[in-house]
Amino acid sequence: MTILLGSIADDYTGASDLANTLTKNGLRTVQTVGIPDPSLALPDVDAVVVSLKIRSVAAEEAVAAALKAESWLRGRGAIHVLYKICSTFDSTDLGNIGPVTEALLSVSSGDIALVTPAFPETGRTVYLGHLFVNGQPLDESPLKDHPLNPMGDANLVRVLARQSRNRSGLVDLPAVAAGTDAVKARLGALRGEGVAAAIADAVFERDLETLGRVALEMPVSTGASGLGLGLARALVSSGRASANTGANDAIRLPVGGLAAVLAGSCSVATLKQLEAAERHMPVLRLDTEKLLAGQDDISAAIAWAGERIADGPVAIAASAAPDVVSRLQARYGREASGHAIETATAAIAGELVERGVRRLVVAGGETSGATVDRLAIPAFLIGPEIAPGVPLLRTIGSAGNDMLLALKSGNFGGEDFFATALSMMR
């Protein structure tokens, strides 16, 4: 298998978001969970998205994992590697966007990387280096209260500089709007100033197309799925990839089995989606304080689901409002709180699959990662889009469990997302 585009995603929902975008824009794409075992048979594709869980780990661990994935992708012919990050630039002053970008540059003989989390389709735009979420500055949006990576600064040049060894700079909107030559000229000027990572403004889809054409001539870039859109269209328009607009036929085959929803995200969007779900299915809200205190709530949740799931889908949620999350983090610690929720939801997922669940919707990036790892799923085929950034996924090479899944970043999807996703999993 020889590929054109490789990507290293910092979490699993972000990986499926990117794989969805690449597929929609003409690239045959597979999402793997970590670096695939050599025995796993992957179909012939244009792009591979390697899913990692490195967004919130120590920078050294993130760098080591990313470099292994980069080596695997280059070994299969990737001419460009995109480090896929969250469109809300989720990170802290310790990383991991800066350290991983610098490490990827160092092994690819690159000297500067384009960096942009912009994706106008999902309300993420960058202007004068500042990130806006649905028109709100990042530091005034709900992301300021993110339980793992609270975002208190909308100026991405500053944010990136604080977590990088090298200087950061800006390719502003006038340069992007002027086209590829102007962007290249600006990058050349920044190189001369010792800048190794350049935040790029992007407000419209055409801006992403310009940035994609420029980035494709460089070995490495960092961005959200919007930059993936630009890269995919650049590959197709240049003739290096043939536009492939059809979903894999295998994704449409029914899997049968039972259906469930698991939610670990505490985002405002997920909380509203859970409220809406109560109109369509039973919803069990776990007592997160009991989970953090080590009291067993998992067996009770499984018993609750077992009494209801034969009659239709059920939802189990370990989500809580921001003020509750803040109180629990203050008592138990941020890392311990997140780990307890991820462990519990993953354990519940494992038990549900043992009991016949084959259609599963998961909300929350960390929750999705823990769940996929627990189920030992090695890779996914990419199916039709459920909501912007969220495709239907079908497992590849999963031991005895052919499944359909949706892995949703906490902030993605409309209020009826859960019902919509389940309706597509026939």
Render pLDDT for 101-143 as a digit per residue (tens, 0 to 9): 999 999 998 999 999 999 999 899 999 999 999 999 999 988 7
Phi/psi of residue 21, nearest 5 degrees: -65, -45
% of the chain exceeding 70 in pLDDT: 97
pLDDT at 409: 87
Lowest mean pLDDT among 5-19, 146-160, 207-221: 146-160
Lowest mean pLDDT among 127-141, 144-158, 219-233, 270-284: 144-158
In which residue are the tokens 């760098």 written?
A: 63
Sign of CA dihedral 339, 341, 344, 347: negative
pLDDT at 296: 67
pLDDT at 106: 97
The reply to whether 222 and 280 lie within a common domain is no
User: For the chain, what is the mean pLDDT?
Assistant: 93
Residue 360 sits in which domain range? 249-423
Residue 284, in any domain of the structure: yes
Neighbouring-strand partners of residue 379: 32, 396
Please count the structural domains in the chain: 2
pLDDT at 149: 76
pLDDT at 398: 76
Phi/psi of residue 366, nearest 5 degrees: -65, -40
Higher confidence at residue 212 or residue 287?
Answer: 212
Residue 347, in any domain of the structure: yes
The reply to whether 378 and 254 lie within a common domain is yes
Residue 369, in any domain of the structure: yes
Lowest mean pLDDT among 183-192, 357-366, 391-400: 391-400
The reply to whether 363 and 395 lie within a common domain is yes
Q: How confident is the model at residue 334 (pLDDT cuts 50, 70, 90)?
A: confident
Q: Please determine, for residue 248, whether its predicted confidence score (pLDDT) is greater than 70.
A: no
pLDDT at 95: 93
Interatomic CA distance for residues 407 and 413, integer angstroms: 11
Sign of CA dihedral 237, 242, 246, 247: negative
Residue 242, in any domain of the structure: no
The reply to whether 212 and 330 lie within a common domain is no
The reply to whether 117 and 222 lie within a common domain is yes
pLDDT at 166: 96
Q: How confident is the model at residue 250 (pLDDT cuts 50, 70, 90)?
A: low
210, 237, 264 - which closes a domain: 237
Q: Please determine, for residue 246, whether its predicted confidence score (pLDDT) is greater than 60.
A: no
Residue 244, in any domain of the structure: no
The reply to whether 53 and 179 lie within a common domain is yes
Residue 279, in any domain of the structure: yes
Residue 293, in any domain of the structure: yes
% of the chain exceeding 90 in pLDDT: 77
237, 268, 288 - which closes a domain: 237
- Domain CATH for 405: 3.40.980.20
Residue 319, in any domain of the structure: yes
The reply to whether 33 and 108 lie within a common domain is yes
The reply to whether 256 and 292 lie within a common domain is yes
In which residue are the tokens 């989720």 written?
A: 90
Render pLDDT for 159-178 as a digit per residue (tens, 0 to 9): 999 999 999 999 999 999 99
Interatomic CA distance for residues 137 and 131, integer angstroms: 6
Q: Please determine, for residue 295, whether its predicted confidence score (pLDDT) is greater than 80.
A: no
- Residue from 136, 132, 15 nearest 389 by CA: 15
The reply to whether 163 and 284 lie within a common domain is no
The reply to whether 15 and 116 lie within a common domain is yes
237, 266, 293 - which closes a domain: 237
- Domain CATH for 112: 3.40.50.10840
The reply to whether 338 and 395 lie within a common domain is yes
Q: How confident is the model at residue 396 (pLDDT cuts 50, 70, 90)?
A: very high
pLDDT at 328: 82
pLDDT at 2: 87
Interatomic CA distance for residues 55 and 368, integer angstroms: 13
- Edge to edge, what strands does the sheet with 130-133 contain? 124-127, 130-133, 136-137
The reply to whether 227 and 262 lie within a common domain is no
Q: How confident is the model at residue 157 (pLDDT cuts 50, 70, 90)?
A: very high
pLDDT at 140: 92
For residues 134 and 119, the answer to whether their CB atoms sit within 8 Å is: no
- Cα angle value 94/226/406 (rounded, 5°): 85
